[in-house]
Amino acid sequence: MASNAFSLEGKVALVTGANTGLGQGIALALAEAGADIAGAGIVAATETEEKVKALGRRFLNIEANLSSIEPVERIVAETINGLGGLHILVNNAGLIRRADAVEFSEKDWDDVMNVNIKGAFFMSQAAGKHFIAQGSGKIINIASMLSFQGGIRVPSYTASKSGIAGITRLLANEWAAKGVNINAIAPGYMATDNTAQLRADAERSKAILDRIPASRWGEPADLGGTAVFLASRASDYVNGAVIPVDGGWLAR
């Protein structure tokens, strides 16, 4: 396949939670492939903006609290008005709370579910209306190893990431015939703020590394190639997939 099938020149990508970690890594990979970027989140993605602009692409900061569905229509409208269109949505924003299931609070349940699954669905709905009207679009959801496994001490995170796999398939079933591709990336154990507690626990960190065939924690940049593939014409016949990027964790 010609390399230009992976080009994102002329495309606009909206990435939630683009200020750090996986969201920043994905935003930079899409910008390197040619896309202009809108970053939406409660914290302004200042560092990401600087890095995207250094690549010669435009960046639009949209400040919004993604724990509520109230701003989703505004986020889509601001992206289209500010950057002249919308072609790619990456639902990356996410929370994790850790506690034993027997002690897990309703607040920790609701806080995580509101951002990770409710927010992702309604962002997809808002962008999906636009994509269906224009006859094309790409939605990339960020799933997890816990879309496949149970995990420990993260009940709401596990539930939300299992839900991400489910709505990815559901939306693909409904929208594939309308020219919209919906897929997900399931990162393995990545060196981000969400895993800081795990990496600080020497025993737990060793147990994780011992199981990863690649023998290292992943980095945000490791998701870049898969994100560009799913955002580009190269994936036009890929629908409802949940692609692990895990250093071989699931193969073990």
| Separation between Cα atoms, residue 162 and residue 143, nearest integer Å | 8
Residues assigned a catalytic role: 157
Structure tokens at 220: 């945000």
Residue type, 6: F
Residue type, 77: A
Contact (CB, 8 A) for 131 and 226: no
| Separation between Cα atoms, residue 98 and residue 75, nearest integer Å | 30
| Separation between Cα atoms, residue 200 and residue 82, nearest integer Å | 41
| Separation between Cα atoms, residue 166 and residue 147, nearest integer Å | 9
| Separation between Cα atoms, residue 125 and residue 32, nearest integer Å | 27
